[in-house]
């Protein structure tokens, strides 16, 4: 029996915890800021705890999936945080998309406590999390990666990409490209639609063409029928682009597409699309160019 703790049971975290619950040999403990979001998982067998510390105390491996640096500090620090409950020799896997700097700093404190930490952000949305189809990039020591691999392979394809923080660096690189693809696709579709092409026809041809990446093929149907429940919302994408630009500034890397994308994301939030899926960028551009 592998006892896995899960802190952060939002849309992605709940999908991942649900998958782990469904695999024989796992016992999953968890907590979330809002218990109501975990009720379905509790019904499936999740062991609920009131604090991240209690989850860490009860688990061999602790996983977290939260939104940003501030949330990471909130679940990791203080008397009720993960650090207070980690046992020597235990493993902490943070799968959030936070700044590489914040992750490295936390990894150093985890190591000082006698435990190990890896950053393991994911590429993929809620359906991929449910199906075990995530792409997971892991930053950390060889020993940390080997300890994390058996759990992470239950969630997707796993690659050790380097030292602590390197998984996050690669995730930000991927999301910069992903956002650029979504904006460019929306621009092209809007151009075709305004010129008189049936948008459904345009979507089929575009996704069958050379630009039809797996991400675009999966999201294109959402563009004309935007779901109420986001797979990956615009507010989170904006956070990732800001992080990418911060790292770019630190490393002296020019990121012109990220700068242009942020203009569109700010407009999206201004129009009330912050919690809508990134497929909503098509509607944002349509309204901005009406």
The torsion angles phi and psi of 99, rounded to 5 degrees, stand at -70, 140
User: What is the C-alpha separation between 242 and 209, in angstroms, rounded?
Assistant: 31
The rounded distance, in Å, linking the Cα atoms of 10 and 226 is 20
Neighbours of 210 (CB within 10 A): 6
What three-state secondary structure class fits 246? Answer: helix
Q: For 128, what's the count of Cα atoms within 13 Å in the CB-facing half-sphere?
A: 16
**Residue 204 annotated in active site:** no
Query: Do the Cβ atoms of 93 and 118 come closer than 8 Å?
Result: yes
- Alpha-carbon gap, residue 245 to 266, rounded angstroms: 14
C-beta of residue 75 within 8 angstroms of C-beta of residue 43: no
Q: Within its chain, how far is the Cα of 4 from the centroid? A: 19
Map residue 217 onto helix, strand or coil: helix
Beta bridge partners of 275: none
In sequence order, what DSSP letters do the residues of 138-149 get, joined into one string?
EES-HHHHHHHH
Residue with tokens 């207070």: 84
Q: Which of 171, 204, 270, 287 is catalytic?
A: 171
Residue numbers annotated as active site = 171
């Amino acid at each position: 029996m592998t006892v896995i703790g899960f802190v952060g049971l939002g849309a992605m975290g709940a999908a991942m915890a649900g998958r782990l619950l469904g695999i024989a040999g796992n016992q999953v403990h968890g907590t979330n800021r809002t218990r109501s979001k975990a009720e379905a998982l509790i019904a499936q067998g999740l062991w609920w705890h009131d604090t991240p510390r209690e989850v860490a105390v009860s688990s061999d491996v602790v996983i977290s999936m939260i939104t940003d640096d501030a949330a990471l500090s909130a679940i990791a620090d203080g008397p009720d945080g993960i650090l207070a409950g980690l046992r020597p020799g235990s493993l902490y896997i943070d799968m959030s998309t936070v700044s590489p700097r914040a992750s490295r700093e936390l990894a150093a404190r985890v190591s000082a406590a006698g435990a190990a930490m890896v950053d393991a952000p994911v590429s993929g949305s809620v359906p991929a999390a449910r199906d075990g189809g995530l792409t997971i990039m892991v930053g950390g020591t060889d020993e940390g990666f080997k300890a994390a691999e058996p759990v992470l392979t239950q969630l997707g394809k796993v690659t050790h990409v380097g030292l602590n923080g390197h998984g996050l660096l690669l995730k930000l690189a991927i999301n910069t490209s992903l956002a650029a693809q979504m904006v460019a696709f929306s621009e092209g579709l809007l151009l075709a639609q305004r010129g008189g092409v049936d948008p459904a026809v345009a979507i089929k041809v575009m996704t069958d063409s050379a630009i039809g990446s797996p991400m675009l093929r999966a999201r294109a149907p959402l563009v004309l029928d935007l779901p109420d429940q986001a797979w990956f919302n615009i507010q989170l994408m904006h956070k990732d682009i800001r992080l990418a630009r911060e790292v770019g500034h630190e490393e002296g890397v020019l990121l012109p597409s990220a700068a242009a994308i942020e203009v569109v994301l700010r407009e999206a939030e201004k129009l009330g699309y912050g919690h809508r899926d990134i497929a909503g960028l098509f509607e944002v551009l349509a309204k901005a160019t009406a």
